[in-house]
Amino acid sequence: MRTRSLVSLLALCIAPAALAQGVGVDPGAKFAWAENVGYLNFRDAGSPAGSQGVRVNVGGGFMTGFVWGENVGWLSLASGPVGPFLNTTGLNYGVNVAPATGNLSGYAWGENIGWINFSGGALATPPNPARYDAAARRLRGYAWGENVGWINLDDAAKFVGFICSADMNLDGETTFDDIQLFVTLYNANDPRADFNLDAEWTFDDIQSFVQAYNLCAAG
């Protein structure tokens, strides 16, 4: 009964998709290349894989999640679940996204490699700042780490692309199938339904799913 009523509630709340926001990493485009440490995986963090991967919240102006490097370990893109982040101390670091331009700024933290400056691409020759390209749904530009050098987000073949976070079955579309899957995962307290990443399954997660569904372009 809970499942049926929740499906009905979501069906009433969800409207046709409009804007591309609230996106997670595409399983087919999840790697960036760092010249001194190799490939970095932006998607597969968490259990199940992808539940704590990188997400872009363009409307909110920030990124969250974790990146994995075989040679460097974990890289955290946010000190908390909600930004934008001040980046004035080690307690409020995080990567911000300028809603109007997609430009990235702020810092990520790697326990083994220190700070990664997502504004660092502006210092490249020629300048190539890190940014979220909403039209192409991918990252571009460069980030800089004092201990690892350049992280290339701009490669044409190996790059970090994004899909709608409400595309629960990862088929490239947001449909009623995704609503049903979300409900199933929500009822099972599955991390994939923990949309606000607070390790709880509450109405806030339902609202976040509805918002993501409504804001994502359907196919």
Structural domain total, the chain: 2
Q: Which of 162, 178, 199 is the last residue of a domain?
A: 162
pLDDT of the residue at 2: 53
Confidence of residue 19 (pLDDT cuts 50, 70, 90): very low
pLDDT of the residue at 138: 92
Judgement on whether residues 138 and 205 belong to the same structural domain of the protein? no
Q: Which of 126, 146, 162 is the last residue of a domain?
A: 162
Q: pLDDT tens, 48-57?
A: 888 889 988 8
Q: Residue 84: pLDDT above 90?
A: yes
Judgement on whether residues 131 and 46 belong to the same structural domain of the protein? yes
Judgement on whether residues 116 and 208 belong to the same structural domain of the protein? no
Nearest C-alpha neighbor of 24 from the set 59, 46, 53? 53
- Cis before 48? omega within 30: yes
Judgement on whether residues 193 and 88 belong to the same structural domain of the protein? no
pLDDT of the residue at 52: 87
Phi, psi angles (nearest 5°) of residue 133? -90, 100
Judgement on whether residues 60 and 118 belong to the same structural domain of the protein? yes
Does the pTM of the predicted model rise above 0.75?
Answer: no
Judgement on whether residues 27 and 52 belong to the same structural domain of the protein? yes
Across the chain, how many H-helices and E-strands are there? 3, 14
pLDDT of the residue at 217: 47
Range of the domain at 90: 23-162
Judgement on whether residues 202 and 184 belong to the same structural domain of the protein? yes
Judgement on whether residues 7 and 36 belong to the same structural domain of the protein? no
Judgement on whether residues 28 and 120 belong to the same structural domain of the protein? yes
pLDDT of the residue at 17: 38
C-alpha 16/C-alpha 192 separation (Å) is 23
pLDDT of the residue at 39: 95
What single-letter DSSP state applies at residue 55? E
Q: pLDDT tens, 148-194?
A: 999 999 999 999 998 877 778 766 677 888 888 999 999 999 888 88
pLDDT of the residue at 216: 65
Judgement on whether residues 60 and 123 belong to the same structural domain of the protein? yes
Judgement on whether residues 136 and 177 belong to the same structural domain of the protein? no
Judgement on whether residues 39 and 134 belong to the same structural domain of the protein? yes
Nearest C-alpha neighbor of 39 from the set 194, 142, 151? 151
